[in-house]
Structure 1
Amino acid sequence: MSYVFLAYMHLVTVVPAFLIGTFLLLNRKGTLKHRALGKVYMLLMLSTALITLFMTAQVGPTLLNHFGFIHLFSGLVLYSVPAAFFAARKKDYRTHQYNMIGVYVGGILIAGGFAFAPGRLLHTWLF
């Protein structure tokens, strides 16, 4: 698959995840709406993390001529989303909360910030 196609697929999953995640963080927890949107958010975040694993790092050093520093955030998401899901199922809401905040801050805000850095595709597209 081409890098540009993967970038579009990544945007298709991460933009709604950002919007839903923001809504979930700012609104009441535990409601039916929260649980339903939370499942959608988790699926979008898992999808976006998997997509990024196929995207070759374009900036900085790489491991195996493919993975870069930004791929660490994919690992964070791939670990934290299932951990948060199972914590919520066990009614361990503190663990669920910490994992989901970590996914949002690390997987969306910080990784998103790096995605707009000079030399990256989003930076090229927007600036």
Structure 2
Amino acid sequence: MILEPLLGAPLAVHIHVTAVTPPALLGAYILLRPKGTPLHRLLGRIWMALMVVTAVSSFFIHELDLFYGFSPIHLLSIATLFGSWNAIAAARRGDVRLHQRIVAGLYFGAIVLAGLFTFLPGRIMHAVIFIGAEWPAVLAAAAIGSILVAIVLRRRRGRLIAR
């Protein structure tokens, strides 16, 4: 693992990575813990604020310039902003099921799926994680896999439902 590719990246990338890293871990924790508690609400507010910062910061990243500086990934950022708004509105209305579906979609789509694309060859995070040593790649894959397996197992046992 080497940090030079990330340290040499534009400020928008630094903000984006700094804003998205905590929600990646915090989101898994929130999804696995009891819902509706004061801790859930506090961590959910933090998670949502960081997701908005992540989405907004992406509009200043033009690494994949396909259309006037933008790429299809920016559509995901727009969806994340709308999803964040709708998740908050659903929670305030008491529509727990809709809130859960939106937040789970945001987590798996905007963090897990989009995060996996950042590890493709030629991307900054690929260079950070995979260049220089083999063990960080195995560790990263094991961590991501473990989180996904834990979430799937908890969901199948019905514990992901709000309490």
Both structures adopt the same fold (TM-score exceeding 0.5): yes
Q: 2:15 is aligned with what amino acid? A: M
Gaps of 5+ in 1: none
For the pair 1:54 / 2:66, whether they are aligned, the reply is no
The percentage of aligned residue pairs carrying the same residue is: 37
Tell me the CA shift for residue 125 of structure 1. 2.3
Report 1:7-86 matches (<5 A). Answer: 7-58=13-64, 62-64=66-68, 66-86=69-89
Q: Which residue pairs with 1:106 in the alignment?
A: 109
Tell me the CA shift for residue 88 of structure 1. 0.3
Tell me the CA shift for residue 112 of structure 1. 0.4
Query: Are the counterparts in 2 of residues 45 and 77 from structure 1 also a CA contact under 8 Å?
Result: yes
C-alpha distance in 2 between matches for 1:78 and 1:63: 20
Which portions of structure 1, spanning 4 or more consecutive aligned residues, are displaced by more than 4 angstroms? none
C-alpha distance in 2 between matches for 1:72 and 1:3: 22
Deviations, residues 26-47 of structure 1 (Å, cap 9, x unaligned)? 0000000000100000000000
Q: How many residues align?
A: 123
Query: Are the counterparts in 2 of residues 70 and 114 from structure 1 also a CA contact under 8 Å?
Result: no
Tell me the CA shift for residue 3 of structure 1. 4.8
Gaps of 5+ in 2: 1-7, 132-163
Tell me the CA shift for residue 124 of structure 1. 2.1
Deviations, residues 44-97 of structure 1 (Å, cap 9, x unaligned)? 000000000110033xx6111x11122222112111011000100000011101
TM-score, length basis structure 2 = 0.71
Quote the RMSD (CA, aligned, Å): 1.4
Query: Are the counterparts in 2 of residues 3 and 56 from structure 1 also a CA contact under 8 Å?
Result: no
Q: Which residue pairs with 2:137 in the alignment?
A: none
C-alpha distance in 2 between matches for 1:96 and 1:89: 9
Query: Are the counterparts in 2 of residues 80 and 103 from structure 1 also a CA contact under 8 Å?
Result: yes
TM-score, length basis structure 1 = 0.91
Q: Which residue pairs with 2:124 in the alignment?
A: 121
Change (3 A) 1:85 1:96: same
